[in-house]
Structure 1
Amino acid sequence: MLRSYESNIPGIEIILRRLKLFDLILTPTENEMVRDLVDILSSFETTTTILSAYKSYPTMSEIESMLHSTGTESSVIEELQHLLSEYLDTRFPITPLNICGFLLDLSQLKIDINRYLT
């Protein structure tokens, strides 16, 4: 949002003047602070994108739910689901470090963690 604001400052100021919303127009010093913030926060963009890979990859709960049989699959699919489910903990172990990261991630507060605490 700040990046969008930064690239449209002149147009935004014109619109605010026409609407007589002078108190919403930032000073040159405030606009410079916005530019500095954009520069600082841009350095975190790549890291945030990498750490937000959950948008591209399924979560463990999504994988587990796909491996539960609904009874409408063919026998081959049911067998595959069973085999994958049986070895899921071996192939994707959940370590104490994963649990600590999970507990510290505020976006995960709604998830029941009891099964990971055993």
Structure 2
Amino acid sequence: MFRLVAAALVLAYAVLALTGSAPSPADPQAAMMALRTAPVRDLRVGSSYVVAAPVRLRQKPGHEQEPLARLGPGEAVIVLSGAPSGFAQVRDDAGRTGYIPAAALSEAL
């Protein structure tokens, strides 16, 4: 069920990206709070995942840390390690390494 929901979310963002319309959540602050309070997930180190929601790749775990880049929905990452703070260390296709909220990851289809 989770994979189906994640696939639908990724597909919806892809369609929006192709049509040139940016998603505008009713309450972006609520979406951010959902990521901050999401339970810690068990991620498989070395496995590929897909970013399910727009996030900032950060140098260290934590929402207060300086962002290195933005990752959009559908971008593939490889999990390098998990963090007890709810963040995962990842590497994107461009070779950048940093931390994103683990809740923003969906298993690759």
Normalised-by-shorter TM-score class: under 0.3
Structure index of larger Rg: 1
Q: Per residue, is there more helix in 1 or in 2?
A: 1
TM-score by length of 2: 0.26
TM-score by length of 1: 0.25
Q: Per residue, is there more strand in 1 or in 2?
A: 2
